[in-house]
Amino acid sequence: MSSRDDILTSIRANLPRVDRPLPHVPLFDDEPPASLLSAFKVNLHRMGGVFLDPPTTGDMLAPARAKIADAKIVCSVVPEIAGNRDIAGVDAPRDLADADFAIVRASFAVAETRSVLLSDADLDVNSVAYLAQHLIVRLDPADIVVNLHHVFRQPEFRDRHTPISTPGHRPRRTSKACSFTARKACARCRCCRSHERSATS
């Protein structure tokens, strides 16, 4: 057992055993916006993001396809839009540094902060959301919540390795995020798990 394991085991064994109810925290949503989708779009535009409205008829994904038409490297983790780099073949997170577009699906979004939640389950390889020059996020309008207080009650936030990824303000690269309707960086994505196995073997 490593020193790290010794420390963590000791901490877990000595956690305070206090049977005390947590304080009630209100949701601060007494006056929600009339339309969560409209509020999200307004705040997204303020941060330099682009909202791709689907056409009323025809191919609902046409705006996204047009965005990536001239891109050299597109990495998609959604089945409905094909990319030209298979994320299943990525051996190391840094291999995605030359991607022009990443296409992902958000677990949910926050109208107040124009944020989207991207978990390890959404990305497969977490670095795809950070290293790609542009990010296209698929989002179901029904999955937009009012504010961050609602986020803390979402099962995806509790059960997954989940940071909030903010369109228009991502680390490493200055890029715009395209989000359209349709329907952490953690250490536990597929690539990171493979590196853990290599380090311990």
The yes-or-no verdict on residue 187 having pLDDT over 80 is no
Selection from 77, 51, 29 nearest residue 180 by Cα: 51
Residues 6+ apart with CB under 8 A from 48: 168, 176
* Region 181-186 average pLDDT: 37
Indicate the domain borders of the chain.
Answer: 33-200
Higher pLDDT, 201 or 147: 147
Q: What is the pTM of this model?
A: 0.73
Higher pLDDT, 185 or 32: 32
Contact 141, 37 (CB under 8 A): yes
Higher pLDDT, 201 or 44: 44
> At 164, is the pLDDT very low, low, confident or very high (cuts 50, 70, 90)?
low
Q: Is residue 89 classed as helix, strand or coil in its secondary structure?
A: helix
CATH fourth-level superfamily of 33-200: NagB/RpiA/CoA transferase-like (3.40.50.10420)
- At 147 the pLDDT is 95
CA triplet 149, 154, 157: central angle to 5 degrees? Answer: 95
pLDDT digits 0-9 by tens, 41-89:
999 888 888 899 888 888 989 999 999 999 999 999 999 999 999 988 8
- At 85 the pLDDT is 94
